[in-house]
Amino acid sequence: MSEVLSIIKDRTLTYEQKIVSLARAAENTLSVLPISKEIQEYRREGIICDLNEGNAPYRPRYIVPDYERFMRQGSEFLRLKPARDIWEATNNLLILYSHVPSVTTMPVYVGNLDTLLEPFIKDEEEAYKAVRLFLMHLDRTVTDSFCHANIGPGATKAGRLILRAEKELQDAVPNLTIKYSKDTPEEFALEAVETALVSAKPSFANHEMFVNDFGINYSIASCYNGLPIGGGSYTLVRLVLARLAKQSNNAGHFLEEVLPEAVSKMREFMDQRIRFIVEESGFFESSFLADESLIYKDRFTAMFGMVGLAECVNHLLGAKEQKDRFGHNDAANALGQRIIERMHQLVSEHNNQYCKATDGRFLLHAQVGIDTDYGISPGCRIPIGEEPEIYEHLLQSAPFHKYFPSGIGDVFSFDETVKRNPAYLLDIIKGGFSEGLRYISFYASDSDLIRITGYLVKKSEMEALQQGKQALHDTVALGLGAVQNSGILERKVRHNG
């Protein structure tokens, strides 16, 4: 019980954070999943990692409610009628958010906010006040920056008000993505770029690519996870390639023996977690979200995560010098692609009866790492400190994105002078998307609010936490860990040229 007591006595945790931590500690006293010895060994070595999902999963990790439907029908359980004006609309949404579960206990998706609110934008200044208060309310009560809102791809009055408010508020929550398509008006996209250079959001999602993978009803949730609306993902488990690679010294052996074995065990582990949620936890039988058709069991899938490709490739090739390493060397990049292709093939071969949204398949996810990772780069990213020039970086990265419908992305820090020329950044985004990039995030080097890996944290709040002060958002602690272990603040600043 010493863990429980230390949570209770921890002075850097808020009351809310203590409750979440205590619930997690309670869950982890159970061992209800039949986990084989082999899987247990992979977990012990940190090769397979369930990212704090807990030992007895009692809700899907990521839930993506159909908020459009909620706006049309209200909620019987919550005794809410469909909204008639902007105040009722924002109030209804805020009420629903506090009842949307997730691995963080808080909603990881809060809707395509612009299209949800657009019908209620009458008097623009009144609507701005409502939108601003709504976003501020989210930031102060959903105290975890994996909470994600979407806008676009079309330009709307509501979309512009959201961008204007985000530029002013510069808050960590919600995370924000603009779905960007060839039809997104240039001016709207430029407004989004200008906002991102002040508030580190929105990120840009390649709309055509996501539609191709999911159909039009997709969302971007949590970090940057593409998921079907009205469903979500039961689980996200990750395979730490950086550590798995240590079991081999050559690429052939790794691809033909080491990797297939680990993938097979991880699939089994994921199957167990999903089975428990669906068959034993009773989640779908006891949630009003399911009763009221805001989620459907058959719109869920599961995410097969991976992390540390760069370190895996460099180990297998024994690459020490920059010119031989992943991100810089053609052969190293090609091996990276072979590994991901192989993994994609192995994951696609598997069938899970409950992942109906994706025909029984798991989706690959380039996981962004956790605070305690040391010397492990997110997903397929080039390590911080080794980044090549930006055009080479984008061309290197783009070929990996097609394998990861449930999320992959690159983060860039730009010199603040870029604020004078947002079209410069939009050109880069368009170019990236035409080359197959799925998702891109950026912020200005002078920004207090920055993107750590897939979530937002203020530098000033990490400093305060380091001095022993409490932080409202639980993600501040994760950000601080990543700063200390992964050198986030040393990310290459892209100057002119």
Chain residues binding another protein by CB under 8 A are 389-391, 394-395, 417-418, 420-421, 423-428, 430-432, 434-435, 496-497
CA 494 to chain centre: 24
Distance of alpha carbon 470 from alpha carbon 456, whole angstroms? 17
- Kindly tell me which of 209 and 306 has the beta carbon lying closer to another protein: 209
Closest distance to another protein from the beta carbon of 437 (Å): 10
Q: Which tokens go with 133? A: 């208060």
- Kindly tell me which of 142 and 394 has the beta carbon lying closer to another protein: 394
Distance of alpha carbon 382 from alpha carbon 412, whole angstroms? 12
Closest distance to another protein from the beta carbon of 427 (Å): 4
Count Cα atoms within 13 angstroms, Cβ side, for 435. 19
- Kindly tell me which of 444 and 452 has the beta carbon lying closer to another protein: 444
Closest distance to another protein from the beta carbon of 321 (Å): 14
Closest distance to another protein from the beta carbon of 495 (Å): 9
Closest distance to another protein from the beta carbon of 496 (Å): 5
- Which amino acid is located at 160 in the chain? R
Count Cα atoms within 13 angstroms, Cβ side, for 415. 10
Secondary structure element (H or E) that encloses residue 435, with its range: none
- Kindly tell me which of 172 and 428 has the beta carbon lying closer to another protein: 428
- Kindly tell me which of 185 and 282 has the beta carbon lying closer to another protein: 185
Start-to-end CA distance of the chain, whole Å, equals 56
- Kindly tell me which of 445 and 470 has the beta carbon lying closer to another protein: 445
Closest distance to another protein from the beta carbon of 422 (Å): 9
Q: How far is CA 447 from CA 241, 416, 450, in A?
A: 32, 8, 6
Query: Taken in order 211, 121, 110, 93, is the CA torsion positive or negative?
Result: negative
- Kindly tell me which of 2 and 496 has the beta carbon lying closer to another protein: 496
CA-based nearest residue to 184, from 174, 193, 176, 175: 193
- CB–CB of 183/153 below 8 Å? yes
Q: What is the DSSP string of 33-89?
A: S---HHHHHHHHTTSEE-TT--SS--S-SEEE--HHHHHHH-BTTTTBPPP-SHHHH
Q: Which residues contact 356 (CB under 8 A, 6 or more apart)?
A: 297, 298, 299, 300
Q: Which tokens go with 452? A: 């750590």
Closest distance to another protein from the beta carbon of 426 (Å): 7
- Kindly tell me which of 286 and 434 has the beta carbon lying closer to another protein: 434
Closest distance to another protein from the beta carbon of 414 (Å): 8
- Kindly tell me which of 132 and 419 has the beta carbon lying closer to another protein: 419
Q: What is the DSSP string of 116-183?
A: HHGGG--SHHHHHHHHHHHHHHHHHHS--TT-EEEE-SS--HHHHHHHHHHHHH--S-SEEEEEE-TT
- Kindly tell me which of 350 and 393 has the beta carbon lying closer to another protein: 393
Cis peptide, bond prior to residue 153, ω within 30 of zero: yes
Q: Which tokens go with 92? A: 């209804």
Closest distance to another protein from the beta carbon of 428 (Å): 5
Distance of alpha carbon 230 from alpha carbon 232, whole angstroms? 7
CA-based nearest residue to 366, from 304, 297, 319: 304
CA-based nearest residue to 306, from 251, 247, 228, 373: 373
Closest distance to another protein from the beta carbon of 69 (Å): 38
Closest distance to another protein from the beta carbon of 87 (Å): 40
Residue with tokens 């719109």: 299
- Kindly tell me which of 288 and 391 has the beta carbon lying closer to another protein: 391
Distance of alpha carbon 399 from alpha carbon 244, whole angstroms? 23
How buried is 315 (Cβ within 10 angstroms: 0-12 exposed, 13-18 middle, 19+ buried)?
buried
Closest distance to another protein from the beta carbon of 423 (Å): 4
Closest distance to another protein from the beta carbon of 43 (Å): 42
3-state secondary structure of 447: coil
- Kindly tell me which of 92 and 184 has the beta carbon lying closer to another protein: 184
Number of C-beta neighbours around residue 139 at 10 A: 18
- Kindly tell me which of 284 and 442 has the beta carbon lying closer to another protein: 442
Q: Which tokens go with 154? A: 């079309």
